[in-house]
Structure 1
Amino acid sequence: MKRIIAVLGDYYHPKERIVDSLHHAVKFISELEDIDLVEIQLEQLCSELGKKPDAVILFKENRINPTDEKVDTWMTEEIGTAITEYVNQGGGWLGWHSGLASYPPDSNYIKLLKGHFEYHPELHQQVKYTSVDGNDSFGAVAFDILDEHYFVNVNEAETNIFLTSQSEDGHSVAGWSHSFGNGRVSCLTPAHNKEGLENGEFIKLLAKTIKWVCD
């Protein structure tokens, strides 16, 4: 039995869409092994890390109240250190979409991910996601969805780039993975809209990345 905990949803990303997508992905994995997926509240994260789950999925940006004049954030140095230690000791981590957003580039968390969100064009658009030629880490991937096109800054020399994105606004890295200490880290930039989160090819890719960080 693999135990996975998930922290999902923020101001711009309704939790219900994410939960549905995640459960569809877990069904694929469950055909091969038993999965115990538990959604937790942010306040439970540090205590749950101490229980050594097989993996953690984060789909939540750092900003708590992004539209207010004074914006608060939740990722303290203490939490960032706890996450880093958890992965270093053998845990798995998936930073998914807004789980890459608004975290300080020099923070322990972003050093763990080896990449972070920089910006996306104001309007949603058709984004083509494709696997990297010669990289079969998660199999051949090719799908188009209406999405926020995330442009990210990634330390490509220290991670494995397996997915790229392309739209009328340009190209970017869209998926990467690497070992960290005794653990594993993977990052995915899609998807924002209901259409993307329900896309069958994306869900298969999501399932493969979750399984990889659990192993």
Structure 2
Amino acid sequence: MKRIVVVLGDYYHPKEWINASLDHALGLLNENEKVECVEVQTSQLSEELAKKPDAVILFKEDRINPTDEKVDTWMNEEIGEAIFRYVDQGGGWLGWHSGLASYDINSSYTKLLKGHFEYHPVQHSQVKYTGIQGNDVFGPVSFDLLDEHYFVKVKEEETNVFLKSESEDGHSIAGWYHHYGKGKVCCLTPAHNKEGLLNENFTQLLARTIEWVGR
């Protein structure tokens, strides 16, 4: 049985929508492969990583209280190093949407991802997500969502870009993956809204990324 640890939800991203998306994606995985999905709090993450799960999914930004004058964060150096060791020793990591956001760009975590969120326009827009021709690790991809259009900075020469995004606000990278040490890392920028999170084309892509990091 595969064991997947998930850390989900933050101030701007209701956990219920993310869980619904994740449940649907997990239901699309190979029926012969049973998956145990365990949701933990950030305070429990280091302990769970030591148990060497098959994969970890993070959909949670670093800021705990983003609207306050004094903003606190949860990922300290100790947790970042625990994540780094986990992946380096063979773990699988999926940084999903806000799991890429507001983390220190000089941290071991961001270096592991080889990319980070920079900004998104205030207004949501119709975003077209398209797979990169010739990179079919996650199959052919093409779908449109009313979404937060994430603009990210990625070290393209050190990873494999498989998904791009386009809206009236411009173009960006929307998905990339690489091996790190003995482990695997995949980053995915969609989706923000309930409708996007439950979009059939998106959940099929999500399922394939989960399968890859947990393989």
Fold shared by both chains (TM-score > 0.5): yes
AA of the residue aligned to 2:121: P
Partner of 2:36 in structure 1? 36
Partner of 1:88 in structure 2? 88
Distance 2:192 2:185 in 1: 21
Partner of 2:199 in structure 1? 199
Superposition map of 1:16-95 within 5 A: 16-95=16-95
SS state at 1:205 partner:
helix
Partner of 1:142 in structure 2? 142
Give 1:205 deviation, angstroms.
Answer: 0.2
Distance 1:13 1:92 in 2: 23
Q: Kindly provide the CA deviation profile for residues 124-144 of structure 1, in whole angstroms up to 9, marking residues without a partner as x.
A: 010000000111110100000
Unaligned runs of 5+ in 2: none
SS state at 1:85 partner:
helix
Distance 2:164 2:96 in 1: 15
Between 36-45 and 79-88, the greater mean CA deviation after superposition: 36-45
Give 1:179 deviation, angstroms.
Answer: 0.2
Give 1:46 deviation, angstroms.
Answer: 0.4
Partner of 1:3 in structure 2? 3
The runs of at least 4 aligned residues of structure 1 exceeding 2 Å deviation read none
Distance 1:155 1:62 in 2: 21
SS state at 1:29 partner:
coil
Distance 2:10 2:26 in 1: 21
Q: Kindly provide the CA deviation profile for residues 162-210 of structure 1, in whole angstroms up to 9, marking residues without a partner as x.
A: 0000000100000000000000000000000011001000000000000
AA of the residue aligned to 1:192: H
Distance 2:180 2:173 in 1: 20
AA of the residue aligned to 2:180: F
User: Normalization by structure 1: what TM-score?
Assistant: 0.99
Distance 1:24 1:93 in 2: 19
